Chain A
Amino acid sequence: MADYASTVDLAHAEELEQEMVTNRVFGFWIYLMSDLCLFSAIFGTFVVLSHNYAGGPTGKQLFHLPYVLVETLLLLCSSATCGLAMVAMRNEKKNLVMLGLAVTFLLGLGFISMEIHEFSRMVLAGDGPGRSGFLSAFFTLVGTHGAHVSFGLLWMAVTIVQVGLKGLSAPVQSRLMRLSMFWHFLDIVWIGVFTTVYLRGVL
């Protein structure tokens, strides 16, 4: 009888834990959707201002597509390795999770370094955000995405340490799921950025 009762309790506790993880994933998804609203406002602003050059340089003069293609591939590969880390998590392979996240981190770092290099080159050439409406909107949009990626990298570094110290416990797995959602989300926003800003700008 006592055994039966504790089995029921255990099943109940597991069900509650499941519901908690599902709710947290949903809550985080709502945050991502509100972030998407923020991005769409910035995208809207960029599209409206995208031809206000004020005598300054145009997208065609500023952007170098092979450079942007490398950035895009870095971010896309990091999205894939982040997925591989999730597969490793599912198979309870702690070291593979850490390796996958470390590779994701390095690819993300490569992306953000290239972006910072591009920004500094433009600002040093006098084409900073103050040059024209087009460049203000450009730095706001691409910079906001870059800031998200930077915070994602910080989060990822903390998570790698956490996986190392605590192993793949239930809370750590739940956090890993949300981190991967965030990272995939940023890659989707980047699709919008390279299409709207760079490809359309050069065209």
Chain B
Amino acid sequence: MNQSLIERVGAGKASLRSYATGFILAIILTGVSFAAVMSGAMSRSVTLFVIFAAAALQSLVHIHYFLHLDMSSESRWNVLALVFTVLVMAIFIGGSVWIMYHLHQRLM
């Protein structure tokens, strides 16, 4: 396989710079999450918000810097599949929690 082939299928975007940037950002976000819980400095609801926001951000960092997904023509379908899967995830997790919470409320 020659250079141009790897370039075009996405692995060509694998540069030292992108992995280093992604790694540093991921370390910072992981640190923020653990520090928020271990220090106990904030109220429970604020901490919950912080750790889930950091998790969402860190997922995006991994997708961008490690998996090199962007809106270029080669990876557009991959992005579309991901967006659809995120929708499925929202229905699975959000739907389960919503239904079970209300069931719990009504059975009290």
Contacts and interface: CB of A to CB of B under 8 A. Distances in A.
B17 to A, nearest CB: 10
A181 B100 contact: no
B11 A90 contact: yes
A200 B51 contact: yes
Given A87-B19, A188-B59, A29 B78 contact: yes
B100 A90 contact: no
A184 B66 contact: yes
A180 B68 CA distance: 11
A43 B10 CA distance: 30
A154 interface: no
Interface string A36-56: 110011011101100000000
Nearest to A85: B14
Which of the listed residues A43, A47, A188, A194 has the most CB atoms from chain B within 10 Å of its own CB? A188
A26 interface: yes
Interface stretch (A1-9, A111-119, A145-153, A170-178): A170-178
Interface string A182-203: 0011011001101100011011
Given A22-B74, A29-B78, A80-B23, A40 B89 contact: yes
B57 to A, nearest CB: 10
A173 B1 contact: yes
Contacts of B23: 76, 79-80, 83
B48 A203 contact: yes
Interface stretch (A65-73, A102-110, A124-132, A156-164): A65-73
B88 A40 contact: yes
A170 to B, nearest CB: 4
A136 to B, nearest CB: 15
B89 A48 contact: no
B93 A181 contact: no
Interface in A1-41: 14, 17-18, 21-22, 25-26, 29-30, 33, 36-37, 40-41
Interface of B: 1-3, 5-6, 8-12, 14-16, 18-19, 22-23, 26-27, 30, 33-34, 36-38, 44, 47-48, 51-52, 54-55, 58-59, 62-63, 66-67, 74, 77-78, 81-82, 84-85, 88-89, 92-93, 95-97, 100
**10 A-B pairs closest in CB distance:** A83-B19, A44-B96, A170-B1, A40-B89, A195-B55, A86-B14, A33-B85, A44-B93, A184-B66, A40-B92
24 contacts: A18-B5, A26-B78, A29-B81, A40-B88, A43-B92, A44-B93, A44-B95, A45-B96, A47-B97, A73-B30, A76-B30, A80-B22, A83-B23, A87-B15, A87-B19, A90-B14, A177-B11, A184-B66, A188-B63, A191-B58, A191-B62, A194-B33, A199-B34, A203-B37
